[in-house]
Structure 1
Amino acid sequence: MTSRSETWSLTLGLIRRLRVTQRAMERAMLGVSLRDHIRNEEIGRRTRVTDIAQRVAKLKWQWAGHIARRTDGLWGLKVLEWRPRTGKRSVGRPQTRWTDDIRREAGSRWRQAAKDRVLWNSLQKTSSGRQLVEMMTICFV
């Protein structure tokens, strides 16, 4: 379910759909249906499965650090820095970019921070570094 999830732009709608799918799988594991009226917290406690939003956010954080530390000149970093030539914006609110939640968490200089592996990992584990994961966890619990 999380295959290649580190490359997704995490939106609230996507997180909601992932959680619905996870809960359906957990209900199937336990052999219970929606008619049994068992709360999601109880299902999570019984299955002891990691919350999908936390898992995806952690994978994304690790992938961002990996991409920022690369020095081989492959496509990963180039794709992050790419901007369209036209310079025109589409009508309406801009779509969520892959880097938006990482920038929100680690700041605009996140790539410099990610080059220091110890600092990057500590950012993830600190209370401010957990905001990304917590933000994804709060939505649609």
Structure 2
Amino acid sequence: LRALGEGDSADARRVRAGIAAATAKAPRRGLPIVVIHGLDDGLVPISMTSDRYVPLARKAGAQIAYWRVNKAQHFDSLLAFPDYRKRYVPLLPYLFAAMDQVWEHLEDPARALPQDALIQPSPRAEAPLLREQLSIPAPPGR
């Protein structure tokens, strides 16, 4: 593996080119972005992904909001299991809320873009999950 990372063979050059092509780049200046990450995500660690991308994007001039969701993990599909739904909330509702808020801004630039948020939701027990339990950030100014 070290030879693929540091060597000069055709395979090593191909591996390094693939890594370079997949490396996250800063977005274009002025692009509105909302990054949403569950703080209990054991599959895609926040410290290795979003915590590194957000400063890079901001430095490049992106209009970026960073929503960190406590009690959220990577796979909403696991919430079908009783123990998971007692401990975690789904991330998909935050995606929809963020998209709605960005869309409202694009339709009417006087409306503010979403702001950074550390979200503290309340997972459900056995009852259906209610919007109020998710603590979805309201659009700025509302």
Higher helix share: 1
- Which structure has the larger Rg over C-alpha atoms? 2
The answer to whether the superposition gives a TM-score over 0.5 is no
TM-score between the two structures when normalised by the length of structure 1: 0.27
